[in-house]
């Protein structure tokens, strides 16, 4: 979707990716936009927070072994 | 209710944190023992005060924080769930804590009942810890993260070394109370070797393979090293044991050669880690990077002293080796890693209780300010040479080194406590309404 907010946190050490994602979550809270993030690792701790805050996510491994995570508000 | 349930089902903040907070308290206690014992403590590694301090360090600081880290790290990083983490963690913490205090007291008073009590408390506590860890590793053998294989292997070798260290420690207590005609010196050397070069060094190296590239933003370690270094190290320790005076194959020459191999292996690791840190993609060092440099420099010093000890068996050299490896290398690395782990844990757990859109969740840099951590680093940096000076009987340094250690450990404790208190304040503010939903 062109409307997605893009966030590339590859090459950043923890916890910077987590801090950046959390700062952006309010922008997709109304359900109009999704957040598309590129990250080096599976952000396991983030998933727990997303679940408890009523967000859904999909994760896809990229050819370069990084991950694409798409996050959106549960309908 | 949902949030409260999610929160309760993972290791609580205090599950690892009580281990992390206790570690610097044991450091402060070690400093007080040194302070009140004066220069006599520094006569040799066999002085009652030094034996007491050594175990306050190895059990109270190193084992305490390594156990806390494993409890936290295994489920989060490696998907290894330790059964009943919270109650078991608490039991291990209490037994390890009281056991360490009892053992430290036993060395100071040379009291047999205290040695027996310490053996029972530490033996039970560490047995529960090792058993729970192995159950966790076995239960989750199929879902362990692929990337983490090298680290899991390190944990296995390291925990196997801990088992050997504990058994040797228990035999030592028995042999001390009921003389068995065994050489206590040879047995102690074996116990120290497995504890320091096995349990501590193997875990430290294995964890470095993961955390140096991840947190310090460096290139990764060469696969040849991550796959081979630790198994070779473990075999060297086994061979050294077989060639000790305990076994029929006793050979002083082979033991000396193996010590050189051990020092060489550790040097290779040190240089490789140094090269990675030198090529960090972020030039400005964080406080954890500074602690890593101190740790590596001390490890390199240990690698030089270890072969030297084969030539000159001086009490001051032995003490210097212990200071460089235990305080300079292992404690500094752990100290630095705590400055990464603790603020991250506080942030993570705060997210669980603070509504994310409230803006009340604290930022990492506010949870544990870098300036406070750096101040403690400089004190720690001074503590290592001061301790070495005390070991070489430089007048005045016995007191100065103890005071510096007290300051360094005290600052670490209050820095960590400050971070936990931020969580405590948020919990008070937000947790009640969540629970009453």
DSSP label of A67: E
Chain A residue numbers with beta carbons less than 8 Å from the beta carbon of B277 are none
In the sheet that holds A35-39, the strands lie side by side as: A5-8, A35-39, A67-73, A55-61
C-alpha A37 chain-centroid distance: 5
| A14 → closest Cβ in B3, B6, B344 | B344
Q: Which two tokens stand for residue B183?
A: 């050489």
| Domains in chain A, CATH or no CATH each | 5-73 (3.30.110.40)
Give the pLDDT confidence score for residue B434 in this predicted structure.
42
| B3 → closest Cβ in A26, A44, A52 | A52
Cβ distance of A52 and B361 shorter than 8 Å: no
Q: What is the pLDDT of residues B255-265, one digit of tens each?
A: 999 999 999 99
Q: Is the pLDDT of residue B307 over 90?
A: yes
Most confident region among A9-18, B197-206, B277-286 by mean pLDDT: B197-206
Q: Which of residues B139 and B321 earns the better pLDDT score?
A: B321
Cβ distance of A29 and B215 shorter than 8 Å: no
Q: Which of residues B75 and B330 earns the better pLDDT score?
A: B330
Q: Which two tokens stand for residue B45?
A: 């590694």
Residue percentage of chain B with pLDDT more than 90: 75
Quickly state the pLDDT bin for B99 (edges 50, 70, 90).
very high
DSSP label of B217: T
Give the pLDDT confidence score for residue B8 in this predicted structure.
38
| B281 → closest Cβ in A11, A22, A41 | A11
Cβ distance of A12 and B217 shorter than 8 Å: yes
Residue percentage of chain B with pLDDT more than 70: 95
Q: Is B143 on the interface with A (CB under 8 A)?
A: no
The residues, ordered by sequence, that sit 6+ positions from A54 with a Cβ below 8 Å of its Cβ are A73, A74
Chain A residue numbers with beta carbons less than 8 Å from the beta carbon of B79 are 44
Cβ distance of B348 and A45 shorter than 8 Å: yes
Q: What is the pLDDT of residues B219-253, one digit of tens each?
A: 999 999 999 999 999 999 999 999 988 777 888 89
Cβ distance of A14 and B6 shorter than 8 Å: no
Cis peptide before A15 (omega within 30 of 0): yes
3-state SS class at B363: coil
Question: Which residue in B356, B366, B368, B431 has the most chain A C-beta atoms within 10 A of its own C-beta, making it the best mutation to test that interface?
Answer: B356
Quickly state the pLDDT bin for B147 (edges 50, 70, 90).
low
3-state SS class at A68: strand
Quickly state the pLDDT bin for B10 (edges 50, 70, 90).
low
Q: Which CATH architecture has domain B2-435?
A: Up-down Bundle (1.20)
Q: Is B312 on the interface with A (CB under 8 A)?
A: no
Give the pLDDT confidence score for residue B80 in this predicted structure.
81
B249-288 as b/e, with b when 16 or more CB fall inside 10 Å? Answer: eeeeeebebbbeebbebbbebbebbbebbeebeeeeebbb
Other beta carbons less than 10 A from residue A32's beta carbon: 10
- How far apart, in Å, are the Cα atoms of B73 and each of B50, B272, B290, B307, B343? 32, 24, 23, 35, 15
Chain A residue numbers with beta carbons less than 8 Å from the beta carbon of B344 are 14-15
Cα separation, B278 vs B37, whole angstroms? 41
- Tell me the pTM: 0.92
Residue with tokens 């530490």: B122
**Which ipTM did the prediction report?**
0.79
Map out the domains of chain B as residue ranges.
Answer: 2-435
| A29 → closest Cβ in B343, B347, B357 | B357
Give the pLDDT confidence score for residue B187 in this predicted structure.
92
Q: What is the mean pLDDT of chain B?
A: 91
**Could you give the angle at which helices B14-37 and B332-353 cross, rounded to 10 degrees?**
150
C-alpha B415 chain-centroid distance: 18
Asked which of B43-47, B182-186, B382-386, B424-428 is least confident by mean pLDDT, the reply is B182-186
Cα separation, B436 vs B1, whole angstroms? 8
Q: Which two tokens stand for residue B395?
A: 């007048």
Average pLDDT of the segment spanning B157-164: 97
Cβ distance of B347 and A18 shorter than 8 Å: yes
Average pLDDT of the segment spanning B349-365: 81
């Amino acid at each position: 979707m062109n409307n997605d907010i893009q966030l590339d946190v590859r090459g950043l050490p923890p916890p910077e990716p987590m801090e950046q994602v959390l700062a952006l979550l309010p922008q997709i809270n109304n359900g109009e936009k999704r957040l598309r993030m590129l990250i080096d690792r599976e952000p396991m701790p983030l998933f727990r927070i997303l679940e408890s805050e009523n967000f859904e996510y999909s994760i896809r491994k990229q050819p370069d072994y990084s991950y694409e995570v798409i996050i959106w508000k549960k309908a | 209710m949902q949030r409260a349930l999610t929160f309760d089902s993972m290791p609580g903040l205090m599950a690892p944190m009580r281990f992390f907070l206790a570690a610097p308290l044991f450091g402060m206690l070690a400093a007080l023992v040194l302070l009140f014992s004066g220069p006599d403590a520094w006569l040799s590694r066999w002085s009652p005060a030094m034996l007491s301090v050594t175990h306050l360090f190895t059990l109270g600081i190193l084992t305490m924080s390594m156990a806390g880290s494993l409890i936290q790290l295994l489920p989060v990083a490696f998907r290894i769930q330790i059964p009943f983490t919270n109650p078991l963690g608490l039991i291990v913490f209490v037994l390890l804590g009281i056991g360490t205090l009892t053992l430290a007291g036993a060395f100071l008073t040379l009291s047999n009942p205290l040695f027996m009590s310490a053996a029972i408390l530490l033996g039970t506590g560490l047995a529960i810890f090792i058993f729970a860890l192995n159950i966790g590793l076995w239960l989750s053998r199929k879902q362990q993260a692929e990337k983490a294989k090298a680290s899991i292997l390190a944990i296995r070798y390291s925990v196997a070394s801990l088992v050997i260290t504990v058994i040797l420690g228990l035999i030592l207590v028995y042999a001390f109370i009921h003389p068995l005609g065994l050489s206590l010196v040879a047995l102690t050397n074996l116990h120290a070797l497995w504890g320091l070069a096995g349990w501590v060094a193997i875990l430290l190296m294995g964890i470095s393979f993961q955390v140096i590239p991840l947190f310090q933003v460096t290139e990764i370690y060469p696969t040849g090293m991550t796959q081979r270094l630790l198994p070779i190290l473990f075999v060297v320790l086994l061979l050294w044991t077989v060639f000790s005076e305990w076994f029929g194959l006793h050979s002083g020459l082979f033991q000396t050669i193996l010590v050189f191999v051990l020092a060489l292996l550790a040097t290779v690791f040190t240089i490789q880690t140094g090269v990675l840190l030198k090529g960090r993609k972020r030039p400005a060092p964080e406080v954890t990077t500074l602690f890593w440099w101190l740790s590596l420099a001390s490890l390199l010093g240990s690698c030089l002293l270890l072969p030297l000890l084969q030539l000159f068996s001086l009490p001051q050299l032995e003490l210097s080796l212990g200071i460089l490896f235990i305080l300079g290398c292992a404690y500094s690395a752990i100290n630095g890693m705590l400055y990464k782990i603790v603020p991250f844990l506080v942030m993570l757990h705060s997210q669980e209780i603070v509504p994310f859109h409230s803006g009340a969740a604290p930022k990492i840099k506010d949870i544990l300010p870098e300036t406070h951590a750096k101040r403690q680093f400089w004190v720690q940096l001074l503590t290592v040479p001061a301790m070495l000076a005390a070991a070489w009987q430089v007048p005045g340094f016995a007191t100065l080194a103890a005071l510096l250690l007290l300051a360094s450990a005290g600052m670490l404790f209050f820095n960590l406590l400050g971070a936990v208190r931020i969580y405590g304040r948020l919990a008070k503010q937000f947790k009640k309404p969540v629970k009453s939903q």
